[in-house]
Amino acid sequence: MLNKFLVGKKKYSVFITTAIIALLDIFGVRPDMQNELMEFIPMVAMVLSGIIYLIMEGTRDIQREKTNTAAVQAQAGVVMANGVNIPRNIAVAQPAQSQPEIQPIDQLSPEPFDVKTFHERVLNDTDLRYTEVNPATLYYMAKDKGRVTTCTDIKQAQDYWDYLVTLAYEANAYVNELSKPKPGECRRPGPEYYASQLDLAKTIRFRDSVHRLADSGIDWKARVANNDSLINVGALAEEVLKYGQ
């Protein structure tokens, strides 16, 4: 059984045999004792070579086991993290990354004034509040809704007051037509005529002030404080321009 095990280990045996013979010569062993020892040298060499082979094969087995284990882990989706086996489908904590700076809300693009949607609401509310829908009632409803609509950007106020001036012109024309005396009548226009003229002039003046305020660079939000509705920004624009420098 030992011979079968030692088959293929001759290169180790030859080396060991040569080494033992050289040692016998070096230490000057008697010739008669050398003859006796020479009979046992091949067997001793074979045994030692077997021991060396076992040690070397054991080391190789350990290396092969590590290689096989790594291959199996790779196939099974396992990675190493700080010396610990972790399946690939489990996220490994990564160092904290710097997050992009969040833009402040007041630096975001403001929502534009939607004239079409605003006017649709004006039409709907006018129909519910007044007995009839005409240019004058539309104008007054648009002013009422401007009082309860917050202004977050001066461009919204500009668009609103441009829209309101258009309604003011239409309301004024409508009132003027109603105020005209009929053929054969001799009467002066009523108070609604003069009120319409004043409303038109004031609306135009406030609109112009809003546009000048937009070009001034004044911090209008700080000046109007909580009076920041669309209608109030126009009504206060003159005062802000006067004292805001």
Amino acid (one-letter) located at 108: L
> Distance between CA 112 and CA 123 in Å, rounded?
20
Compute the half-sphere exposure of residue 180: CA atoms within 13 Å on the CB side of its CA: 7
The token duo for 160 is: 């609103």
* pLDDT score of 8: 47
Q: Are 45 and 16 contacting, i.e. CB atoms less than 8 angstroms apart?
A: yes
pTM over 0.85: no
Tell me the pLDDT of the chain (245 aa) as tens digits.
444 444 444 545 555 555 555 555 555 555 555 555 555 555 555 545 555 555 665 566 666 666 665 554 555 554 444 444 545 544 445 555 555 555 444 445 678 999 999 999 999 999 999 989 999 999 999 999 999 999 999 999 999 999 999 999 999 999 999 988 777 777 777 889 999 999 999 999 999 999 999 999 999 999 998 999 999 999 999 999 988 76
> Distance between CA 225 and CA 213 in Å, rounded?
15
* pLDDT score of 6: 44
> Distance between CA 196 and CA 168 in Å, rounded?
8
> Distance between CA 186 and CA 165 in Å, rounded?
32
Phi then psi for residue 100, to 5 deg, are: -65, 145
* pLDDT score of 3: 47
* pLDDT score of 23: 54
> Distance between CA 148 and CA 139 in Å, rounded?
15
Q: Per DSSP, which regions of the chain are E strands? A: 78-81, 84-87
Q: Are 228 and 220 contacting, i.e. CB atoms less than 8 angstroms apart?
A: no
Q: Are 215 and 241 contacting, i.e. CB atoms less than 8 angstroms apart?
A: no
